[in-house]
Amino acid sequence: MDYLQKFAGQVRSRLAIAFLVNNLLIIGGWYLAANVFHLSGWQFWTVLLIIPIITIVIWPLIMTSTLLQPLRLIWQAILHVSPTTDSSTGAPEIDRLRLGRELVTNLTSQIYQLASVVGEIESTKRKAPEDLHSSFLANALPLPMTVLDKEEKIVFVNDALCKYIKRGADELIGQNVYTILDMSFSSHDTFDKWLNESKQNAATADHSWERVRLGLADESNALQFDLAAHYNKGNPSGFETLLVFFDHTQQYSQDDQAMGFVALSVHELRAPLTLLRGYIEVFDEELGPNLNSELKGFMGKMDAAGQQLAGFVDNILNVAKIEDNQLTLQLREENWPSIIDSVVSDMRLRAKVRGLELKTDIQGDLPTVGVDRYSIYEVLANLIDNAIKYSKTSKEIFVTSKLNSDGLVETSVKDFGLGIDASVLPHIFDKFYRSHRNRAQIGGTGLGLYLAKSIVDALGGQIWVSSKVDEGSNFTFTIIPFAQLAGEQKDGTSGSVSRGAHGWIKNHSLYRD
């Protein structure tokens, strides 16, 4: 109000000055006309009339321009913040104003404040329905979901996830996802591995996993689900990773039970199978020399079939054990070439039945290795068995072994058969995985490579494959020399090292902090 009074005073004084000047001009004109120019009659009255006429025209012009200047600047400020006018209207330049500057400064700042408040109200009005919408959608979604920020902390959980994992949102928000979700994956393609790779190489990425397990804090049965994730680097809202869970606990548990049941039944095959194979061996020894070549061939085929069946039984029983984390390996000092020789000589007959020759090339001075003899036999037997099955019409399979540049014993099984399509290579070690192309023609369970990988992993080695369709495959794995086990705790008098083969791979990040 003070500013307004000050402005009124300024206007009054301007008007007073204007009247004063105006009157002085009239008096001055009268004086000059009468005393200096000595005018009289109509000339004198003409001058006296002209002076007010001129001032009547000029004064309003000067006064309106001066008095309206503050109003013009306020008007300009309103236009400047108004969303409906074109954006070319600039901010008013109040500094140059001499009349009512304080009043105008005060009024324009209030106009700007009002405009910003209105802007905020407008934007919240615009946003609110969207936010409400998305949180309504996320919470109404019958699928558990969560959102992580760039530090992998949980920034959102929907109601379905809270119910699913039996935790309240307040316990979860702000926590690192790995400390909350104790997830295990059926292969090394884990969530944290994918997320780390995506962070390094991608702006956005999507991925999904099947058969993920989640241990619950209250130690009730693990949940099993498929998982889908979306990653968006540097999302402005801070939401980087979205996880959606598709519950299959019931179905997968039934599968697990089925696997347990199959394992139980298969176990019953073991005793009669061992008996049959024993008799085949006895017959072969006793009758072999007297049999004609055709009957000898039959005997060989019977033996090979018995061996294949025994391998199949062992695979199923071992996978069931791995599933239950029950397969324990005893790593002892072993002579590797002698193990290769025993596997190759056992498999030679099967290869021969298929018209294949098994050739070996083993480096002479290999160090002793730290392996579980029984399990590593299975790894090599499975790889050679596959090489025989998928060799098509080729004639040779090579088994080679050498010490590699990392000081590990590296062994390869190379065939020249069907080969594997590049698109299926990433899944080749997955449980139950069988390539589409040949599963109809060639029998199998899709467990051999899964088992081989689980065992090699447990022994501290690695396994990989290079392959080309119609040219063949080369499966390679490493095992560690016994000397490298020297630092590990050995069991009592046996001097062996125990390791477990695990079917479930944890998110590695759990072990990081």
Regarding 503 and contact with ligand ADP (CB under 6 A), the answer is no
Q: How far is the CB of 318 from ligand ADP (least distance, A)?
A: 12
Under rule CB under 6 A, residue 311 binds ligand ADP: no
Alpha helices in 244-328 (DSSP H): 249-287, 293-323
Answer yes or no whether residue 445 interacts with ligand ADP by CB under 6 A. yes
User: With CB under 6 A, what is the number of residues at the site for ligand ADP?
Assistant: 23
By CB under 6 A, residue 186 contacts ligand ADP: no
| Length of the chain as a residue count | 513
Among 145, 244, 449, 456, binds ligand ADP (CB under 6 A): 449
Q: Which of 418, 456, 459, 463 binds ligand ADP (CB under 6 A)?
A: 418
**What is the phi/psi pair of residue 89, to 5°?**
-70, 120
| CA distances in angstroms from 131 to 34, 124, 126, 139, 209, listed in the order given | 85, 10, 10, 12, 30
Spatial CA neighbour of 339 closest among 385, 399, 398? 399
Q: Which of 181, 420, 458, 485 binds ligand ADP (CB under 6 A)?
A: 420
Sites for ligand ADP among residues 87-116 (CB under 6 A): none
- Pairs from 50-53 (Cβ < 8 Å, separation ≥ 24): 51/25, 51/26, 52/22, 52/26
- With CB under 6 A as the contact rule, which of the stretches 8-16, 121-129, 264-272, 427-435 interacts with ligand ADP? 427-435
Q: Tell me the closest approach of the beta carbon of residue 448 to ligand ADP, in angstroms.
A: 3
Binding flag, residue 473, ligand ADP (CB under 6 A): yes
Could you tell me if 410 and 373 are in contact, meaning their C-beta atoms sit under 8 angstroms apart?
A: no
Q: Which of 285, 346, 274, 364 lies closest to 314 in space, CA to CA? A: 274
Examine residue 387 and tell whether it contacts ligand ADP (CB under 6 A). Answer: yes
Question: Structure tokens of 384?
Answer: 């050679």
**Does 474 participate in binding ligand ADP (rule CB under 6 A)?**
no
Position among 447, 480, 485, 497 found at the interface with ligand ADP (CB under 6 A): 447
Residues 397-416 that bind ligand ADP (CB under 6 A): 415
Q: Which is nearer to ligand ADP, 192 or 415 (CB)?
A: 415
Tell me how far, at minimum, the Cβ of 311 lies from ligand ADP, in Å: 10
Q: Which three-class secondary structure state does DSSP give residue 371?
A: strand
Segment near ligand ADP (CB under 6 A), from 61-69, 146-154, 199-207, 429-437?
A: 429-437
> Beta strand 396-403 with 357-362: parallel, antiparallel or unpaired?
parallel
* Alpha carbon distance 8, 12 (integer Å): 6
Sign of CA dihedral 330, 335, 336, 340: negative
**Contact positions vs ligand ADP (CB under 6 A):** 382, 386-387, 390, 415, 417-420, 428, 433-435, 438-439, 444-450, 473
